[in-house]
Amino acid sequence: MIYTVYDAASGVITGTMTITLPNTIGSGISYIPGAYDAERYYIKDQKPELYPAQPSSNTWVVWSWDITTETWNINTSISARNVRDIRDAKLVAVDRVNPFWYNSMSESDRAQVEAYRLALLNVPEQAGFPVDITWPIKPSWL
């Protein structure tokens, strides 16, 4: 028989097993018959429940499901790190501009590069950070 193993307190599925199980596996660990995907299901009252859609589709936002309140919560520290990683990669692209090329730019072009770079640095200061980010627009010629 296939069983889905889950943490009884959080409802988080930890895996599946195909064996004959004893009545208990360990402290806080429970199981139910059947195989349920941990990405799509959690266990509530010993029954599988589909997770509802997450509130944001931004790839950098990390959500966790709270079985007690039945709500999605943002993991702000990981989400903020993800945004900073994206921002840092964009900064590296700007900072790799050849100094000779930079020095040969017009004042207007240099001002655009500097404004774009400053806007990237200020991403964490945006009101919606780390969930709702308005990414600065890179100059098309850069």
* d(C-alpha 13, C-alpha 36), whole Å: 8
Question: How many other C-beta atoms can be found within 10 angstroms of the C-beta atom of residue 52?
Answer: 10
Say what the pLDDT of residue 23 is: 55
pLDDT at residue 67 in the model: 87
Quick one: which of 39, 53, 42 has its CA closest to 11? Answer: 42
Distance, CA of 45 to CA of 59 (rounded, Å): 31
57 band by pLDDT with thresholds 50, 70 and 90 = confident
Give the pLDDT score at 25.
57
Q: Does the pLDDT at position 21 exceed 70?
A: no
Q: How many H helices and E strands in the chain?
A: 3, 7
Percent of the chain with pLDDT over 90: 54
**pLDDT averaged over the chain?**
89
Given this model, what pLDDT does residue 90 score?
Answer: 95
Residue 108 burial by Cβ neighbours in a 10 Å radius (0-12, 13-18, 19+): exposed
Whole-number pLDDT of residue 141: 83
CA 110, CA 27: separation in Å to the nearest integer?
Answer: 62
